[in-house]
Amino acid sequence: MYKLMIVDDEESIREGMARSIPWQEWGFEVVALCENGEETMEKIRQTMPHVVLSDIRMPKMDGVELMSTLNAQYPQIKVVILSGYSDFEYLNMSIKNRVTEYLLKPTDIDEFEEVFYRLRTALDKEQQQRQQQMHQQKLLFLNSLDKLLRGNLSTQESTELAQTAGEYNVWPENSAVLVLSPDEISCEKQALLDVQSQIVEICCSCEGAFGKVLFFVNSEGNIVGICGTSSEEDLDYQSIFDFVAQLQKTVSQQLQTTISVGISELCTELQMLARAYEQAKCCARQNIFCGKESIFRYSQLEQEIPDKDVYFHTQMLEKALISHDHAEIARDIQRVFSIFDRYPLKEYRYIDQLCLSCLLELSRWALQYNVRMEKMLQKAGIAYSDIYNCNTLTAKAEFMDVVLKRLADALEKQRVCNKKSNSVAHQVRQLVDAEFGSNLMSLEYVAGKVNKSTAYISKVFKNELNCNFSDYITRLRMEHAATLLSGTDNPKIYEIAQECGYADVSNFIKVFRKYHNESPNEYRSTLLRRGS
C-alpha cells in the first residue's frame, strides 16, 4: 500500500476526493489532507508519502512553488497536479519540475484510475529495483566481511567495509563473533544449507539487549553472527549469553533442531574480527565433548596441558628444511603428536596454538631466504586456520607435514634461483673459490672486496652453503692439498702448505691431520701403497 497526500485549498474538494475515490482498491492509502503548500511541507516530514496530489492555485505556498520545493528536497516523491487551468505556463512548469502527471479539472473517475494505475506500476518497479539493489549491496558487504574473517581483505576493502558496517548492525569497535553449529545434523549438503538458511532467518528476527545481530552462512559453511553495539559502554557478556540462550530456545521450538554456540573474546577494532572468528569456531566445536546446546566463551575454555613441556624442535626443523630432509621433518612431527596420544585433551586449542606458534616462528625465519610462507600457502589454497578444521590428531599431524614439506620445497626452489642469479652470494663464492690459497683470505678480506660487512659475509655462507666461512675455506684448502699430494710432481710439504694459504707448516699439518685423519706424509704414503 502506497501513501498518498491530497492538497487543495477547498475543503469540500479534498474531503470529497479522499472519500469518493476507491484509493485502497488502487493500492493507495490517504495519509494526510492539506490546505496549502506550507502545511504540506510541515506534514510531509511526518508521513513521507509516495505521491502528492495537489491543486495549482492555493494561498500561501501555491502548487507551482510546492512542486518546485518537492523536486528539490524530495525528488523521490511522485507529484500529480490537478488544475482547472489549461494555461501552457503551468504545464511548462510541471515539466520543468518533473511532475509525474498533469490532470485538468473536471476529471472523471476513469481518468483518475488510469493515472494512478500508471503510478502504482512505476512505484512497484522502483521498489523492486531498490530491493534488488539493497540485496546486491548486502551480498557485496557479506562477501567482504567473509574475506575479512578469513584474513583475505585488502586495506582498501577494509576501509570501505568500515564505512558501511553500521548499516548492517556491525560495530567492530565493540563486538563479539558468534559461530552457530547445528548439533548432530547428518544430511546431504543441500539439506544442510536449507537448515542453515532457516536458522539464519530465525536468528535475524531475534533481538538482544544490544540490538539486532547480523547472521549469515559464510564461505566455509559456518553460521556466523556479529553482535555488537554502537554504544560507548562495553558489550555485556551476560546480555550475549541471554541472547544466545533465547536463540537456542527459538530454533529448537521452530525447527526441532538444537544448536551449540561459540562466543569469541571482545573486539575493539575491525582487524580483530578475523582472530575472533577463529576463536568462536574453536568454541562452537566443543559440543563434541560437552553435548548438545553448548555455549562456550573462548576465554572460559579449560586447557588440559600435559605435565611435561611439549614443543617442536624449530632449530632442528630449520636445518631439515634447508637440507630438504623430509624424513627428519616427519620424525619431529611424529614425536610431538605421539606425546598427545598419551595425554588426551578435552579440547584441541592447546595443540592448535602449538602448531600455529611453530609455523609462525618458521615463517619469520624463512623471510631471510626471501620465502614468504603466507604467500606460498595462499597459492596452494591453504590457510593457517585450516588447522582448526582438522578434527583428529592424525589430521592435524598431516596438516603440519604438508605445510612444512611445501616450505622445504619453496626454500629449495629459492636456493636454486639464488645460485643461478648474479647475486652478492654468487660473487662471494666465486671470489673465495678463486683465492682460497692466499694467506690473505679472511672474512675481512672478502667483505672489503664486495663492499659488505663481515656479518653479512658470514650470513651468506650459512644461508647459501649451510656452513660457516672457516669450514668452507678449510674444506677447499684440504681438498686442494690432497690433490697436490696425489700428483706426480711430488712437491715438498712446506710448498703445499704455502700454496694452500698456510704460512705456518706445523699448523697446516695439524689441520690436515684433523681433516683427513692422517698427516700429509702418511696420506701420500697411503696413496703410493694403493698405486703399487
Asked if residue 14 lies in contact with residue 7, where contact means CB atoms within 8 angstroms, the answer is yes
Q: What percent of the chain has pLDDT over 90?
A: 25
**Residue where a domain terminates, one of 350, 380, 409:** 409
Cβ within 8 Å of residue 339, ≥6 positions away: 306, 308, 310
Distance CA 372, CA 435 (A): 35
- For residue 82, the model assigns a pLDDT of 81
The residues with which 104 forms a beta bridge, in sequence order, are: 83
What average pLDDT does range 492-502 have in this prediction?
90
What average pLDDT does range 52-58 have in this prediction?
86
> Do both 18 and 83 map to the same domain?
yes
Distance CA 329, CA 317 (A): 6
**Residue where a domain terminates, one of 386, 409, 432:** 409
- For residue 330, the model assigns a pLDDT of 92
What average pLDDT does range 86-99 have in this prediction?
58
Whether 94 shows a pLDDT value over 70: the answer reads: no
Distance CA 225, CA 222 (A): 10
What average pLDDT does range 511-526 have in this prediction?
90
Whether 65 shows a pLDDT value over 60: the answer reads: yes
- For residue 357, the model assigns a pLDDT of 86
Distance CA 480, CA 486 (A): 10
- Give the CATH number for residue 44: 3.40.50.2300
> Do both 459 and 504 map to the same domain?
yes
Asked if residue 412 lies in contact with residue 322, where contact means CB atoms within 8 angstroms, the answer is no
- Residue 122 within a domain: no
pLDDT band at 354 (very low <50, low <70, confident <90, very high): confident
Q: What is the pLDDT of residues 302-317, one digit of tens each?
A: 555 555 567 889 889 9
- For residue 289, the model assigns a pLDDT of 53
Distance CA 44, CA 41 (A): 5
- For residue 85, the model assigns a pLDDT of 61
- For residue 421, the model assigns a pLDDT of 44
> Do both 432 and 400 map to the same domain?
no
> Do both 49 and 101 map to the same domain?
yes
Under DSSP, is residue 207 helix (H, G, I), strand (E, B) or coil?
strand
- Residue 416 within a domain: no
- Residue 121 within a domain: no
Q: What is the pLDDT of residues 214-241, one digit of tens each?
A: 999 998 889 999 998 887 777 888 889 9
**How many domains are there within the chain?**
4
**Residue where a domain terminates, one of 107, 124, 150:** 107
**Phi then psi for 178, rounded to 5 degrees?**
-110, 140
> Do both 157 and 241 map to the same domain?
yes
What average pLDDT does range 49-69 have in this prediction?
85
- For residue 7, the model assigns a pLDDT of 92
> Do both 380 and 484 map to the same domain?
no
CA-nearest of 266, 279, 286, 265 to 353 is: 279
Placement of cell 704414503 in the chain? 525
> Do both 475 and 395 map to the same domain?
no
Q: What is the pLDDT of residues 24-37, one digit of tens each?
A: 999 999 999 999 88
Q: What percent of the chain has pLDDT over 70?
A: 89
**What secondary structure does DSSP assign to 135-161, as a single string?**
HHHHHHHHHHHHHHHTT---HHHHHHH
> Do both 402 and 497 map to the same domain?
no
pLDDT band at 404 (very low <50, low <70, confident <90, very high): very high
What average pLDDT does range 183-212 have in this prediction?
80
> Do both 466 and 505 map to the same domain?
yes
The residues with which 263 forms a beta bridge, in sequence order, are: 178, 297
Q: What is the pLDDT of residues 125-167, one digit of tens each?
A: 999 999 999 889 999 999 999 999 988 888 888 888 888 888 8
Whether 301 shows a pLDDT value over 90: the answer reads: no
Max avg pLDDT among 88-97, 276-285, 516-525: 516-525
pLDDT band at 178 (very low <50, low <70, confident <90, very high): very high
Read off the pTM. 0.49
> Between the CA of residue 321 and those of 187, 435, 465, what are the distances in Å?
42, 31, 14
Lowest average pLDDT, out of 183-192, 257-266, 468-477, goes to 183-192
Placement of cell 683470505 in the chain? 441
Asked if residue 436 lies in contact with residue 341, where contact means CB atoms within 8 angstroms, the answer is no
Cβ within 8 Å of residue 52, ≥6 positions away: 4, 5, 7, 40, 44, 66, 70, 77, 78, 79, 80
- Residue 88 within a domain: yes
- Residue 78 within a domain: yes
> Do both 270 and 370 map to the same domain?
no
> Do both 256 and 339 map to the same domain?
no
Phi-psi region at 151: left, alpha or beta (left = phi > 0; alpha = psi -120 to 50): left
> Do both 440 and 468 map to the same domain?
yes
CA-nearest of 518, 188, 155, 220 to 388 is: 220
Domain span including residue 367:
314-409
- For residue 121, the model assigns a pLDDT of 92
Whether 193 shows a pLDDT value over 50: the answer reads: yes
- Residue 318 within a domain: yes
Cβ within 8 Å of residue 530, ≥6 positions away: none
Distance CA 32, CA 19 (A): 12
